[in-house]
Amino acid sequence: MGKFQKKRGKSSPEVSTASLPDIIFMLLFFFMVVTVLRDSEQKVNVVTPTATELTKLEKKSLVNYIYVGRPVEKFKATYGTKPRIQLGDKFASLEEIPLFLEKHRSKVSENMRPGIKTSLKIDNSVTMGIVTDVKQALRKAGQLLVNYSAKPRAK
């Protein structure tokens, strides 16, 4: 019969790093595909008011953003200095709000449509007249869930 001996002094084999670049590139491509980039450039200056009672929006994919403010410097020559409405990535008029809402509504599944909200990001210096006009256009379009964006008040 043979004698069995334990081999001592031998170390375990090293971990192969040959597949490490493949893993890194797979992670890179994954994050490139999954990352959502900003879909619109802000063309109006918006300094939102401060508030004490704030609620965070849950599902941001169900939120329409309407910006109201004065155009930024590079658009002042074209659009002037009066407050303007920005829908998505372009300046718009009040008559374009229902179409903007309908485009977003068509992208959302049928069962999620009742949860669609409109968030108004309005500059501090804008008068209430244009805000009221936007709210009336939203009401006529059937968009009754409206949120006003604000930043937290410093304590």
pLDDT-derived band of residue 9, with 50, 70 and 90 as boundaries?
Answer: low
Q: Is pLDDT of 1 > 60?
A: no
User: Which of 84, 77, 80, 79 lies closest to 45, judged by CA?
Assistant: 84
CATH fold label, 44-152:
Nucleotidyltransferase; domain 5 (3.30.420)
Spell out the alpha helix ranges (H) of the chain. Answer: 20-34, 73-79, 97-107, 128-140
Q: Which residue has the tokens 């590139």?
A: 25
pLDDT in tens, 74-114: 999 999 999 999 998 899 999 999 999 999 999 989 999 99
Q: Is the pTM of this model over 0.85?
A: no
CA angle 93, 99, 103 (to 5 degrees): 135
Between residues 42 and 1, the one the model is more confident about: 42
Q: Is pLDDT of 4 > 60?
A: yes
Ramachandran angles phi, psi of 119, nearest 5° = -105, 125
Segments making up each domain of the chain, as ranges: 44-152
Share of the chain above pLDDT 70, in %: 92
